[in-house]
Structure 1
Amino acid sequence: MAKTGKLAAFKLGKKTAMVNLPAQFVTASSSNAKGQKYSNLVDYANNKDKIDDQNNESITELLDLKKQFNEADYATRTSATTEQEPIFSSDKLHYNNHDISVLRKRLEKAQSNGNNIHELAFSLRGDWLVENNLYDPKTGNIDQDKLKHAQQKVAKTLINQGFKLPLGESDRDVVWFGVIHQDTDHLNMHLWFTKETKKERPEMLKQSGPFKGQPTGVIPLEKIELAKHEFRKELMKDKSRQKRVAILKGLGQLKKDIILSSDEALSSERYVDQIKAIFLALPQEKKGHWQVGNSNLMANHTKVAKANHLTNQLLNDLFQNEFKEEYASFKQLGRQFDAFKY
């Protein structure tokens, strides 16, 4: 995303992703080797007047986490924030000098104990902020408190569910902080977090390879998607949330109607030959042990590839004939539901 050179001057009318959530992390060993300190990320005094993981999303515009250590005021720079005390965490929405001092010491302890530091960046487009009463383009006002409360909730989810086990061994064993940046065409919220005490649980350490014994850094994509969903849900205004629920109910009812009517449709003579062809294409030596869902219907080079292709064609015919109206409505509601995510 591009720098605007202004605060709260977000682009409107740009139908790109509502929330983009790239994730990156760096290891303590690589930071130590370069003389980089985790605490540099929150160098509050200077601003008073990644190892990228292939399973995580990435955007080229996000400043590499490794480079952020060299940006002394990256988190709190005045060109991106409007608050006097922009850093927040689980306990307070505004960190003062004392809070920052404690935060720095905890980050230094986490680094000395060999823990990774993670960053996730929430990117929210201006139109979505306006739709949900989070941003007034006329005044430039942003409901920062509501945004911070949403990130507090999501941070807890990521820390407790983003790994094989909760990242911390207690509620006080993880240190995290966040900040809102306003100097790009989308609003950005950053979240940095790390375990404070030394990792010793085998499930949380690499068991083989060149990084054996070091903390794992991967946050599975499905966990990131869960965080995005929770973040959107937390910030949606009631009207949008009610509309979303209504669409989900409509999708569920259409799905139910199609399934209930499928037996009658398939029993007609129109599809007998197609059903027979599917049966004959199945591996007869596996009769009685056929399973559904082991491969995509369009997958090739499997024992059931031919049967899957024939089944896919049968479904297409059913949706073009018997369920044409229901399927059209289903796709329309599906597009409306996608609009809540993108």
Structure 2
Amino acid sequence: MTETPDIIYTQQFVAANVQYLDYSEREEAVDLLNDFDLETGESNIQHDVDENLAGYLGYTDRKAATKLEDGLTGVYPTFTQDSLNLTHKQHHELADKIREAQKNKSMLWQGVVSFNPDFLERAKLYNPETGVVNQRAIKRAVQKAIPEMLKQEELNVPETFWWADVHLNTNHVHVHVGISQIKNTRPLKFGEPKGTFQTKSLKKIKSVVHREVEDKISREHDINLEKKIDELKKDVVDQLKENLQQQQQQKMLEQIWYALPKYKDKRRWRASNNSYDFREAKLLAGKLVDDLLKTDLNQDYEKYLSAIKQKNSDNREKYGQNIPDYIPEKQKDLHDYLMNRVFDELRKVDVVSTKSNFSERVKWLGIEGNNELIEVLSKQLKNTKSDIKAKKLKKEIGIRKYYVGILIKENKNKNYLDQISELKEKGLKNNFQDYLINDLQEKYRLGVLQLIPRNKRDNDNKTEYQKLINKHVDVSQISVKKINEEIVAQKNQYLDEWLKVVKNTKDPNVQIYLKNQGLKNVNLPEYVDLQKRIMQAKLAIKDNNKKYADNISLRNQKNGKLFKELKEDYEQLKNINSKIDLNQTQIRLNQANNSKNVSRQKNKSLAKKENTERKPKNSVSPRLLSKLSSALTSVKKEGQERINALRRNLDKEDDFEKQDRIDEIETETGRSMER
């Protein structure tokens, strides 16, 4: 069941009409005194709001208005920005303004603020036993809120005026609001003044009224929550600066520096820049921030998220469940803020003549980051018309694909070593353990040899490589041209021996091996037979190519059936391998989560030890390192000063966000002038 929000505000617009003033003041709806009895009835305030809005147009009750005037000795319950209860003179002046607006065909905005009685009771503005409502406090809250809403709509001009009445004749307390202009200042749309208000403007009146009406205890809760968010954000940013000073983070910062495009206007180094030439630097900076938020900064970051979620929950209770979830927006704000602080300091670093270590950047960006960048570069290549630019893009794409291949092999090798260690530590000493450890060691050794360029392998390496590749090769990667009886025989022998061992699924060594290889719940005999069939089909195709070289028609006839079977087997093998990859990915994720805290402490100790015990090997000039070090120090100092402007009130814009937008506007202006 959906909870009823504390406040609802609904608004519509029509041409200005003086009768609306009479409607909002009718006697059965208003009470100049501060007490009334809430009528019993339905509890859904949205229902009340809809009914009231539906009755605005053309509604007149002169008789009720006259009674009210007679009974109140010249004082009206209507209030405006300057008065809580209008005099006769003020009332006539207001009516004249509405007539003038009507004459000039200005817009009339009719709004209803509806309060949940439970909220008013919590705010100590309504006593359910006596039925007394503190109208004065409600009026002052509306007087505070409407100007802020008008400012959002650029209606805070002398031509604008408004009035309102507190209505007590429905299930809930309502404030009926009228807004108009003596002379229209709004932009025209289809020949008429623009009538709709922005969503954030309508949200503004609810938030300000709520803030002004709620009791002191609740207000202190919000203030304390926002202070907590400020402090937690400060902790996250301060820890960022501290970690950046470590050797590893300084190395990461160095790679970001190398990747930054040489813009004439370096203010374009912003998290909001989506240009393809800035993509690598942005990905590197984003990866740095992501890694820190997941490791060193994780504890404070989780507390920050908890506070934001609490604030989001409070807002939904106040304004209803249909308000947007702003948690992702706040996460992105923090992420972009941390990235921009890094870019800010790098802008201050002078250009130093030094060789960019491209391979280091590619390696640190990782497989996922490089694949994302390759996709961006490929789209750019597809759309480019310049041969020179196309050649440059092709070269970079090729280099990145090459390095991605290396990274994949390195990750596999590390995984093999981890599996060997686990077998030795947790397995049972027997023949199965010896075989499986040897199997993993051979695969690791093959991976090491594959990382050595072919022209740099000596004869011993070449012999060892060929022996291992024949044994452990992926059958889908063997070409028809290169396959032969020797390769098939060696591979079949290995598969038979391997299956004989891994079929012993009750052995603890086999269980560990199958789990880490992603082979759990895989039909192993079927997996082996499938690989054998694929090799046999390729061998038969090669034999037919040789035997029927002079009879293409007969060769195609013989091979047609084989290719069809091969295609089906490939699809089946692909499905099994996908399942294996998925299992291995899940295992790595679980291992990463389990070892996160241990790894975090280990990395801190290792970084501290490296900083104190040995001087880092640097391939860059001391001048650049010095400037990067100074930049990191400035990030810490500047971040500490500017963080005080963050999140003083979650309904207001952050100072740093404003400055970021100013920088972006100035940058765009500068770029336009350059063009």
Alignment of 1:9-158 (within 5 A): 15-28=3-16, 37-40=17-20, 42-43=22-23, 62=50, 68-72=56-60, 87-90=78-81, 92-94=83-85, 103-158=94-149
How has the CA–CA distance of structure 1 residues 48 and 240 changed in structure 2, closer, same or farther, with 3 Å as cutoff? closer
| TM-score normalised to structure 1 length | 0.65
What corresponds to 2:158 in structure 1?
168
Give the partner amino acid of 2:170.
Answer: D
Q: Counterpart in 1 of 2:236?
A: 258
SS at match of 1:89: coil
Q: Which residue of structure 2 lines up, in the alignment, with residue 240 of structure 1?
A: 218
The CA distance in 2 between the partners of 1:243 and 1:188, in whole Å, is: 26
Query: SS of the residue aligned with 1:166?
Result: coil
Q: Is the 8 A contact 2:19 2:58 kept in 1?
A: no
Contact 2:78 2:163 in 1 (8 A): no
Distance in 1, matches of 2:25 and 2:155, equals 35
Quick check: 1:327 aligned with 2:296?
no
Q: Which amino acid aligns with 1:228?
A: K
Matched, 1:177 2:164: yes
Is the Cα–Cα contact under 8 Å of residues 121 and 188 in structure 1 kept in the other structure? yes
Structure 2: state its 5+ residue gaps: 30-45, 66-70, 319-675
Tell me: CA distance 1:269–1:22, structure 2 relative to 1, closer, same or farther (3 Å): farther
Compare relative contact order (CA 8 Å, sep 6+) and give the higher one, 1 or 2. 1
Give the structure with higher Rg (CA).
2
Q: 163, 176, 197: which is aligned to 1:190? A: 176
Contact in 2 for aligned 1:106/1:175 (Cα 8 Å): no
User: Which of 302, 311, 314 is residue 337 of structure 1 equivalent to?
Assistant: 311
Indicate the RMSD between aligned Cα atoms, in angstroms.
Answer: 4.2
Structure 1, unmatched stretches of 5+, are 1-12, 29-36, 50-58, 78-82
Identity %: 21
One-letter code aligned to 1:164: E
Q: Which structure carries more strand by proportion?
A: 1
Alpha-carbon offset, residue 283 of structure 1 = 4.3
Structure 2 residue 249 is the aligned partner of structure 1 residue 249: no
CA contact (8 A) 1:157 1:227 kept: yes
Report the equivalent of 1:291: 269
Q: Deviations over 1:118-172 (max 9, x none)?
A: 133323334432321123344443322211121123234444x244363324xxx
Name whichever structure is richer in helix by fraction.
2
Report which stretch shifted further, 105-114 or 62-71: 62-71
Contact 2:11 2:111 (C-alpha < 8 Å) held by counterparts: yes
Give the aligned length. 289
Q: Is the 8 A contact 1:14 1:127 kept in 2?
A: no
Q: Quick one: distance in 2 between partners of 1:121 and 1:44? A: 11
Structure 1 residue 206 corresponds to structure 2 residue 197 = no
CA spacing shift, 1:240–1:265, aligned 2, 3 Å: same
- How far the C-alpha of 1:112 sits from its partner, in A, is 1.0
SS in 2 for 1:25: strand
- Structure 2 distance, partners of 1:217, 1:293, is 35
Give the distance between the partners of 1:129 and 1:217, measured in 2 at CA: 31
The normalised TM-score by structure 2 is 0.36
C-alpha change, 1:176 and 1:331, in structure 2 (3 Å) is: same
